[in-house]
Each structure stands twice: as structure tokens, then as C-alpha cells.
Amino acid sequence: MSQAEPLRVGVVGLGAMGAEHVLALSEHVPGAQVVAVHDVDAHRAGEVAASVGARVAGSAEGLVADADVDAVVVASPDRTHAPLTLACLATGKPVLCEKPLGVSVAETAQVVAAEEAAGRRLVTVGFMRRFDPGYLELREAVLGGRVGEPVLVHCVHRNASPHPDATTEGVVGNSMVHELDILPWLTGLPVTGIEVRSPRSEGLREPQLAVVELGRVLATVEVSLSVRYGYDVRCEVVGTEGAVSLRPPARLDVARDGRAGVVVAADFRERFAEAYRAELAAWVAAAGRGGATGASAEDGHRATVVAAAGIESLSSGRRVAVPPG
């Protein structure tokens, strides 16, 4: 592929996340063209394909194998991530795999091994917070020593309502996994232990509260799936010399009906729009050179290792040590 030609991208899974990626690639990311899409819902695939002038692939495997597709975005459900990422590795194609990289430690370890065998980085895991301007500033402040040595981190991750397929294990493995990735990235320290609890003992066990140990740093993580008022992600790092936190990214203050305050994002697409675009732009640039960017397969594997320990803790009621990576 010459530099002047756009990267020909195929996208698998066209739900909330996949459709958002197709739109962002088409309207906000230079150097990319969505040429093929696939979804098990053929009607949905037809609609999204028509909106950007792409063709509909009959299967995910067919899309990955298509010689006219240079690189692949995987945004289908979690259970499809590792198998499709392995298929991309087998054809030597760069892949942006939505989080999590897999649904078990065995799966994510297999991806890491397959990428090692391929001999170069091809996998990017969709931990888009690493591209969010607020998180990037927070990380720079923490690692640059602005608040001294980090001691505590407080994370809040709230969704208005649960995805219809949400499970108790998925609260850790699909939602909290964002924090399990971002905590080591923010502090430069690996997770060494985790305890996860919920006030609910049956049904969908959420909200969940975790204490995550990163050596000398302790972090709290709240994940709630049904707060109703909107999508709300917060993070504060307390250090020996001060504290630093993300400011709510609201652009508007609204005064109405006797109340004044900030507008809360409706969902992840609104809150992290800039992060998704920056992530895709970096990925398109890297994939155009046949490589990867952002969170690696090893990062995705590590987050799943910690999530598995969190799930074990939730069911046993005990702290679980996380082996070093």
C-alpha cells in the first residue's frame, strides 16, 4: 500500500460501538476508508454499509480473509474477540480489537503467543481512555510528580442502564476492565491484588466496589450499571503532596427550572468521542505502517488476568493475589 492510498478497513460488529467506529473512521479520521462490514444482523449490516458506501461481508472470517481489506476493527460481542484477533494474526493484518481482548486468561494468553509467533505487533486493544485528553493530562501529572508519590486512586465508572447481555462476571471482565487497564497505566505500577464486593448477593450483582492493590498504591473502583442519570466516569489520584482529578468534561452549564448545573453525558459515545477518534487516528497511522499502537496484546492479557482474579474474589468473598506479569 502506498502512503497516498487510504487504509482499507473492515469492521465486524455494528452495534453501538461498531457503528460509532464506522462513523468516526468515515468522518473524522484521515487516511482510512471503511470498505467492508459484517454483523450477524444482516439488516443492520446493510444499513451501516449503505451509510458509508461499504460492501457487506457474508461472514466475519470472510471479511478478515478478504484481500481488499488491509486492517480490521473487531467490535462484536466479547466472546468473538480472541477468535477474530487470532484470525487477523494468521493473515498478518493489523487489528483494533475492542476490549476485552478475550473472555478468559487462556484466550488472551493464546493471542499474546500468536502475536509473538508473528514476530511483530499487530494487535491494538480498544482501551480508548489512553487517548482521552483528560486521562493523558492526569497521567502526565501523576508520573511527572505533580502531587508527589501517588498513594490512593479513586475511580468511579457509572452507566445509566445495563447492556441487555450484562452478567455479574461481565461487570468485572467487561466494564471494570477499563479501570484494571488504566490503573497500571496511570501509576506505572502493576496490580498485585484485588478484592471485589457487591451489596447484591443474587441476580445481576451490581454495583460493585473493588479495592485494587498496586504495590504501595491502593485504589478504589466503583462500577455501577444502572444509575439512571447518565454515564459518569471519574478518577482522582491522591499523592503525598496533593491530589489531582479529572474535571467533568461537560461543555455546558445549564440553568433551568430552578436548578443550575453541568450536563452529564448520556453514554460512552458522548463522553469519550474525542478519545475514540484519537485512538482510531493513531491506529490508522500505525496500521498503515503494518503495526499497532495504544494498549498491546500483553496489556489486554494483563487486564484479563486481573479481571479473572476480581471475579474469583467476588465469588469467594476474599482478596485474591495477582501473580506478577
Ligand X SMILES: NC(=O)c1ccc[n+]([C@@H]2O[C@H](COP(=O)([O-])OP(=O)(O)OC[C@H]3O[C@@H](n4cnc5c(N)ncnc54)[C@H](O)[C@@H]3O)[C@@H](O)[C@H]2O)c1
Shortest separation between residue 102's beta carbon and ligand X, angstroms: 10
Closer of 121 and 269 to ligand X (Cβ): 269
Shortest separation between residue 176's beta carbon and ligand X, angstroms: 12
Task: Using the CB atoms, write b or e for 114-137: b if 16+ within 10 Å.
Answer: bbeeeeebbbbbbbbbbbbebbee
Closer of 85 and 150 to ligand X (Cβ): 85
Taking alpha carbons only, the member of 38, 55, 123 closest to residue 89 is 123
Shortest separation between residue 261's beta carbon and ligand X, angstroms: 25
Taking each helix axis as running N to C, give the angle between helix 16-27 and helix 273-288, from 0 to 180 degrees, rounded to the nearest 10: 70
As beta bridge partners, residue 152 has 218, 238
For the beta carbon of residue 244, count every other beta carbon within 10 angstroms. 17
Which residues of the shown chain bind ligand X in the complex (CB under 6 A)? 12-18, 38-41, 44, 60, 75-78, 80, 98-99, 126, 128, 163, 174, 268
With 0-12 / 13-18 / 19 or more C-beta atoms within 10 angstroms meaning exposed / middle / buried, residue 45 is buried
Closer of 42 and 143 to ligand X (Cβ): 42
DSSP state of 289: T
Shortest separation between residue 312's beta carbon and ligand X, angstroms: 21
Shortest separation between residue 263's beta carbon and ligand X, angstroms: 20
Helix, strand, coil content of the chain in percent (nearest 5): 40, 25, 35
Sign of CA pseudo-dihedral 197, 306, 232, 48: negative
Closer of 41 and 270 to ligand X (Cβ): 41
Closer of 150 and 168 to ligand X (Cβ): 168
Cα dist. 232→155, 162, 226 in Å?
10, 14, 11
Shortest separation between residue 256's beta carbon and ligand X, angstroms: 30
The residue sitting closest to ligand X, measured at its beta carbon, is 15
Closer of 217 and 223 to ligand X (Cβ): 223
